[in-house]
Structure 1
Amino acid sequence: MNFKEDELQHYTLIEIEQILHQHERSLMDFNDMPKPDLKVLKELGNSLWRQEQQYDVLKEGEEHHKLFNQLNPEQQNVYKAVLESVYNNMGQLFFLYGAGGTGKKFVYKTIISKLRSEKRIVLPVASSGIAALLLPGGRTDHSRFKIPLIVTEDSICEIKKGTMLAELLIKTDLIIWDEAPMSHRHTFEALDRTLRDLLSTEDSSASEKPFG
Structure 2
Amino acid sequence: MNQLEHNLQVLAYIDSQGRSGKTFLLNTIIVETNIQRIATIEVSSSGISTLLLLGGMTAQSVLEIPLDSCRETSFICFPSDEKGIILQEIELIIWDELNLQHCYSIKAIY
Distance in 1 (alpha carbons) for counterparts of 2:19 and 2:31: 20
- SS of structure 2 residue aligned to 1:125: strand
Q: Does the CA-based 8 Å contact 2:79-2:88 persist in structure 1?
A: no
Deviation for aligned residue 1:110? 1.0
Q: Does the CA-based 8 Å contact 1:147-1:157 persist in structure 2?
A: yes
Structure 2 partner of 1:153: 71
Map 1:72-111 to 2 at 5 A.
83-111=1-29
Q: Does the CA-based 8 Å contact 1:127-1:141 persist in structure 2?
A: yes
Q: Does the CA-based 8 Å contact 1:148-1:158 persist in structure 2?
A: no
Map 1:1-150 to 2 at 5 A.
83-150=1-68
Matching of residue 171 in structure 1 with residue 96 in structure 2: no
Cα deviation 1:140-168 (Å, max 9, x = unaligned)? 01111011222211211232221121111
Matching of residue 181 in structure 1 with residue 102 in structure 2: no
- SS of structure 2 residue aligned to 1:154: coil
Deviation for aligned residue 1:101? 1.6
TM-score (norm 2): 0.92
Distance in 2 (alpha carbons) for counterparts of 1:115 and 1:84: 11
Q: Does the CA-based 8 Å contact 2:45-2:58 persist in structure 1?
A: yes
Structure 1 or 2, whichever has the larger Rg, is 1
- For 2:15, the aligned partner's letter is Y
Distance in 2 (alpha carbons) for counterparts of 1:173 and 1:116: 12
Alignment gaps of 5+ in structure 2: none
TM-score (norm 1): 0.50
Distance in 1 (alpha carbons) for counterparts of 2:9 and 2:72: 24
Distance in 1 (alpha carbons) for counterparts of 2:32 and 2:83: 23
Distance in 1 (alpha carbons) for counterparts of 2:3 and 2:50: 24
Matching of residue 162 in structure 1 with residue 80 in structure 2: yes
Identity of aligned residues (%): 30
Distance in 1 (alpha carbons) for counterparts of 2:78 and 2:64: 10
Structure 2 partner of 1:80: none
Q: Does the CA-based 8 Å contact 1:157-1:190 persist in structure 2?
A: yes
RMSD: 1.2
Q: Does the CA-based 8 Å contact 2:40-2:91 persist in structure 1?
A: yes
Deviation for aligned residue 1:87? 1.2
Q: Which of the two has greater strand per residue?
A: 2
Aligned residues: 110
Deviation for aligned residue 1:91? 0.8
